[in-house]
Structure 1
Amino acid sequence: MKKINLNLWQISVIVIIAFGAGLIINYAWHSYYQNEKLSTGGDKPNKEVHQSGYKYISPLLECADVHDIRQNDLEKKIKEVINKNIEQGNIIYASLYFRDLNNGPWIGINEQEKFTPASLLKVPLMIAYLKLAEEQEQILNDRLTIENEVTSLSPNILPLKHVKTGQSYTIDDLLKYMIIYSDNAATGALIQHMDPEYLNRIYKDLGINVPNSDQTENFMNVKEYASFFRILYNASYLNREMSEKSLEILSQSQFDKGLKAGIPANITVSHKFGERIWLENKQLHDCGIIYLEKNPYLLCIMTRGNDFNKMSGVIRDLSATVYENFK
């Protein structure tokens, strides 16, 4: 049984998760974005053909050209909501990425603006562990003991449950604490247990350069982050079993003041939120897949502002706007 000391976990989180984020972002770019066109533009998007039979994933089989599905009305309404909330002082800035997961057309609003992902980067760390579990089946049953809890970088949105000092947990359980409750102590234990050489080996296998680990603030945009959910939904990086598992865990996320607040309670959402205070600026993000019956879609929203409650309200309103105009 391995004991985990979390005193230096902050440094490890920044370095190793940033590595994992760069790996998966670049992999997603190579896999999908070469032929992608903005749905509101003049080119035809690719029709994505998926295999059915799963609850959370839809493995990508092929792409074929279809007539352009325009989202001009939806894009206009999204911009109206964002501009209204900026004028009212509820947010300073917002970026949004929407994608129809059946047909592929997408909408981006300020999608190239860089943000600090914060706890959103717990998703690629989970992906790294599940990738390792494809090779080492028993690793998810390995147990780690929490030696001391995190005392710094405390979240502003407190987890409903968290790991306890002195108790041992399976890696599978720690992944759930990290994603479902966004528990930083569970994240720290998982980071310190992960072998950095394993991540570097994956980089080498895929021919991907390690990103600059010193760049810890405002280094990811909403479209880049959305790629994590696309590769999970399409089962194009993890195998189908692990892709399904990851989205099932994400569907249990306890944060319900953002994307989930804007849609009916009976609709499943696999998502992750992130929050950050940097100098005088706060950031709140929520990104995930909304499993609208027969027409699932991906929605990622990143915001800057001064009040987390107002920012979560804006994310809720944007989620509701997309749902009402897309259902």
Structure 2
Amino acid sequence: MKDKNLKYSILIKDLNSDKSCCINEEEVVPSASIIKLFIMAKTFQLVSNGELNLSDRISINKEERVPYSIIYVLDDRNTYTIRDLITLMIIQSDNTATNQLIHMLGIENINKFIGELGFKNTILKRKMMDFDARVLGMDNYTTAHDVAKLLELMDKGQLISKTYSDMMIKITQMQLDNSMMRINLDEELIVAHKTGDLPNIKHDVGIVYARHKHYIFNMLTWDATCDNYARDIIGKVSKISYEYLILGSEQNEDCNRNCL
């Protein structure tokens, strides 16, 4: 399947049967805000090791704040816990919170952690909103394969620990940007996901939890001729995946019960 209006990679995996559908899943693409999932995981590793505490409270000066973030417009006298920064980074994709965590953790330490997890095609090279670095070719990258593996570890309770995996899932369930994979799904459905959004780049990755099964849905798009078109395509592919994996299986179960 080709689309002249964008490039894309897809990885959809039924976590009950381990069956998957993959298209260009190893393609290395600019991660946009998807990299924040890996930053969140590294932060929880330090919390698990006792090097950070989720209740630790810090202040952020004006020079450290970047535009287009909630923290940027809030009172300078506010302080934030590590838990606050993680939550803002994921559910609102706050770039000031993200940059503060990158500063605290260190880019090299984050990349070492990513490598230790076995991800060879995911890397953090710059802070958020550092467009000068991006122009020079310093960008953050990932693949649909790497992100799916991270989500699967989280779902199985194997990312840091069961406790912290559950915390990460709970945070991603509070995602505020529901304009892509979530847009055409039932409002009552539980979806733990993270979006990525830059000009001509739209991503949405996560885990969909239905009544009897759950599955990973990852779709990364880039070189899009229109951002709204990319969002719409992700929404349509997500709906098709849900109808096939969930509604289709439920209809089969009803049929089997009626036959009995």
TM range (shorter): 0.7 to 0.9
Match of 2:85 among 168, 171, 174: 174
1:175 aligned counterpart, secondary structure: helix
Alignment of 1:65-214 (within 5 A): 79=1, 83=2, 86=3, 91-136=5-50, 139-148=53-62, 150-151=65-66, 154=68, 161-162=70-71, 164=74, 165-195=76-106
**Counterpart Cα distance in 2 of 1:275 and 1:194:** 23
Match of 1:245 among 164, 167, 170: 167
**Counterpart Cα distance in 2 of 1:184 and 1:246:** 18
1:94 aligned counterpart, secondary structure: strand
Aligned AA for 1:176?
A: T
Alignment partner, residue 255 of structure 1: 177
**Counterpart Cα distance in 2 of 1:299 and 1:210:** 19
CA contact (8 A) 2:121 2:141 kept: no
2:10 aligned counterpart, secondary structure: strand
CA contact (8 A) 1:150 1:185 kept: yes
Structure 2: gaps of 5 or more residues: 126-136, 247-260
When the two chains are superposed, the root-mean-square deviation of aligned CA atoms in Å is 2.8
2:58 aligned counterpart, secondary structure: strand
Q: 1:137 to 1:230 in 2, by over 3 A?
A: same
| Structure 1 residue 196 displacement after superposition | 6.0
| Structure 1 residue 294 displacement after superposition | 1.3
1:320 aligned counterpart, secondary structure: helix
**Counterpart Cα distance in 1 of 2:28 and 2:42:** 23
1:229 aligned counterpart, secondary structure: helix
Structure 1: gaps of 5 or more residues: 1-78
| Structure 1 residue 301 displacement after superposition | 0.2
Q: 1:273 to 1:206 in 2, by over 3 A?
A: closer
Q: 1:309 to 1:207 in 2, by over 3 A?
A: closer
**Counterpart Cα distance in 2 of 1:118 and 1:166:** 30
Give identity over the alignment, percent: 25
Aligned AA for 2:104?
A: H
Alignment partner, residue 132 of structure 2: none
CA contact (8 A) 1:116 1:216 kept: no
Aligned AA for 1:227?
A: K
1:186 aligned counterpart, secondary structure: helix
Q: 1:179 to 1:192 in 2, by over 3 A?
A: same
CA contact (8 A) 2:207 2:216 kept: yes
Alignment partner, residue 318 of structure 1: 237
Alignment partner, residue 225 of structure 2: 306
State the aligned residue count.
Answer: 231
**Counterpart Cα distance in 2 of 1:173 and 1:296:** 28
Residues 231-281 of structure 1 show CA distances to partners (whole Å, capped at 9, x for unaligned) of 11112231111000000000000011111112111101100011223xxxx
Residues 159-208 of structure 1 show CA distances to partners (whole Å, capped at 9, x for unaligned) of 6x446333110010111010010000111111112256765885898899
Q: 1:203 to 1:212 in 2, by over 3 A?
A: closer
Alignment partner, residue 286 of structure 1: 204
**Counterpart Cα distance in 2 of 1:257 and 1:206:** 30
| Structure 1 residue 213 displacement after superposition | 6.2
1:265 and 2:187 aligned: yes
Choose 110-119 or 196-205, whichever is displaced more: 196-205
Residues 50-84 of structure 1 show CA distances to partners (whole Å, capped at 9, x for unaligned) of xxxxxxxxxxxxxxxxxxxxxxxxxxxxx4xxx4x
Q: 1:168 to 1:206 in 2, by over 3 A?
A: same
Normalising by structure 1, report the TM-score. 0.64
Q: 1:249 to 1:317 in 2, by over 3 A?
A: same
CA contact (8 A) 1:285 1:301 kept: yes
